[in-house]
Amino acid sequence: MTIRPALPADADRICAVVRASILELCHADHHGDPEILRLWLANKTPENVLRWLASPDNINLVAVDGDTMLAAGCVTRAGEVVLNYVSPQARFRGVSSELLGALEEQARTAGNDRCRLDSTVTARRFYLARGYHEVGAPGEIFGLVSYPMAKALPERPGTPG
């Protein structure tokens, strides 16, 4: 597996991974409700992925195995993880953890000392296990429960403090 910057040529495959992850892995969030799925998936299009990739505020990464797209993630230059989805076929293989670590490293390189995100019900336990903690009351987005979370990013060994 390789984690690399996302390219415009990846847009269709990123979109497919994100949509499959939501549809197949996030049932605890959408419960198969067509309206929630409509709202959640509405902006998950190749055209929007291209916009995400083109934004100078975003750092987009993908995890690939050869030509197979395993996961896609995005962190803003301000340290907010706004995308972290794994292909259903790659779940429980450590892909999400490695991608999250790479996103955190990008946030640190951009000058952030912490990362923030809004977690779904499905991903909440994943983030808690990786050092994130809740930083406010749950909210709602796309008809889903959303948990605001944050994690302090440790300094890299050997960096002046």
Q: Confidence band (pLDDT; 50, 70, 90) for 141?
A: confident
Q: pLDDT, tens digit, for every residue of 51-95?
A: 999 999 999 999 999 999 999 999 999 999 999 999 999 988 889
SS3 41: helix
Query: Distance (Å, rounded) from C-alpha 113 to C-alpha 117?
Result: 14
What DSSP string describes 97-148?
Answer: HHHHHHHHHHHHHTT-SEEEEEE-HHHHHHHHHTT-EE-S--EEETTEEEEE
- Is 143 within 8 Å of 35 (Cβ atoms)? yes
Tokens of 137: 């009351």
Q: What is the pTM of this model?
A: 0.92
CATH number of 2-112: 3.40.630.30
Give the chain's mean pLDDT. Answer: 93
Domain range list for the chain: 2-112
